[in-house]
């Protein structure tokens, strides 16, 4: 029904040479794009080179963030126009680490989503609760609000070009993975929110990833769940063998 999407979020890891060696090592081993979408979201410095290396392969390259303005006096920032010009395919928006460490707001996330779409870049829009919010029973309310804010003002057509990533903050980098049933329930709630906003067809079509300590050992169970359409992976995407196993699981889901 929905093609799985397995995206690597390398965060602030790998030297330039390690990044080039990684893509060289995997680019001819990517499963068919008919079965899975394979994405590597690398540090911005490496994107032009990796896009060139991945050309004519089944691998797509993504950014980990971008500004929402076309250009301007925003020291250190990267514009959607710049990413479009080097043919970046995806961009992660609103990752919890950006919300936490760089004070990224729901409003900024919404502006970035709109800017990415207007430049033909697929936004991977992140949401997720803290451990305190989960323990207080506020998970569904938290992710619903983040999704509604992120998608505010978008048309049904635009929403079809978006991927949502549910990443419980307490599972990121901790080795603690949400159970497949819990992750499925929250992804199902997110899909319900999309249905309320945009109707059944949009809800059925949108892809929702799970992220948070995904590994080759647990990905098959996660992908076996009806509401989970892929994974956004940090640590386990940094090694070639591990990332290829994640892709294989996606292709066979
Ligand atoms: O933040 C994440 C992906 O965006 C998840 O990171 P880990 O897979 O290392 O938990």
Tokens standing for residue 36: 């899975």
Catalytic residues: 95, 167
Using pLDDT thresholds of 50, 70 and 90, give the confidence band for residue 1: confident
Residue 181 has a pLDDT of 98
Residue 29 has a pLDDT of 97
Ligand 1 center to 8 CA (angstroms): 8
Residues with CB under 6 A from ligand 1: 9, 95, 167, 172-173, 211-214, 232-236
Ligand 1 center to 232 CA (angstroms): 7
Vertex 167 angle, CA 161 and 168, to 5°: 150
pTM of the model: 0.98
Using pLDDT thresholds of 50, 70 and 90, give the confidence band for residue 28: very high
Residue 176 has a pLDDT of 85
Q: CA-CA distance, 97 to 246, in Å (whole number)?
A: 23
Q: Does the annotation place 142 within a ligand binding site?
A: no
| Average pLDDT of the segment spanning 34-62 | 98
Of 130, 122, 111, the residue nearest 232 (C-alpha): 122
pLDDT tens by residue, 156-190: 999 999 999 999 999 999 988 899 999 999 999 99
Q: Does the annotation place 32 within a ligand binding site?
A: no
Which atom of ligand 1 has the smallest separation from the CA of 172? 10
Position 21 pLDDT exceeds 90: yes
Using pLDDT thresholds of 50, 70 and 90, give the confidence band for residue 111: very high
Q: Tell me, what DSSP letter sits at residue 92?
A: E
Q: What is the ipTM of this complex?
A: 0.99
| Average pLDDT of the segment spanning 6-23 | 98
| Average pLDDT of the segment spanning 28-53 | 97
**Site of tokens 């990752």:** 95
Q: CA-CA distance, 231 to 250, in Å (whole number)?
A: 9
Q: CB of 157 within 8 A of CB of 198?
A: no
pLDDT tens by residue, 183-202: 999 999 999 999 999 999 99
Residue 175 has a pLDDT of 87
Position 14 pLDDT exceeds 90: yes
């Amino acid at each position: 029904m929905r093609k799985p999407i397995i995206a690597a979020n390398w965060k602030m890891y790998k030297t330039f040479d390690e990044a080039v060696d990684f893509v060289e090592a995997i680019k001819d081993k990517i499963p068919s794009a008919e079965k899975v979408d394979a994405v590597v979201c690398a540090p911005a410095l490496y994107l032009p080179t990796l896009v060139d290396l991945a050309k004519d392969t089944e691998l797509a390259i993504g950014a980990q963030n971008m500004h929402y303005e076309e250009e301007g006096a925003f020291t250190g920032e990267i514009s959607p126009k710049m990413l479009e010009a080097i043919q970046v395919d995806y961009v992660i928006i609103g990752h919890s680490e950006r919300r936490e460490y760089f004070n990224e707001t729901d409003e900024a996330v919404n502006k970035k989503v709109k800017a990415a779409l207007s430049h033909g870049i697929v936004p991977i829009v992140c949401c997720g609760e803290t451990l305190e919010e989960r323990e207080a029973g506020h998970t569904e309310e938290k992710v619903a609000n983040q999704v509604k804010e992120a998608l505010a003002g978008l048309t049904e057509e635009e929403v079809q070009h978006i991927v949502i990533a549910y990443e419980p903050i307490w599972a990121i980098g901790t080795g603690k993975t949400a159970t497949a049933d819990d992750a499925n329930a929250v992804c199902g709630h997110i899909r319900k929110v999309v249905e309320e906003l945009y109707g059944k067809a949009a809800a059925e079509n949108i892809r929702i990833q799970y992220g948070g300590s995904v590994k080759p050992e647990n990905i098959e169970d996660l992908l076996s769940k009806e509401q989970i359409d892929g994974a956004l992976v940090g640590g386990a995407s940094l090694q070639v063998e591990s990332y290829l196993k994640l892709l294989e699981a996606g292709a066979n889901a």
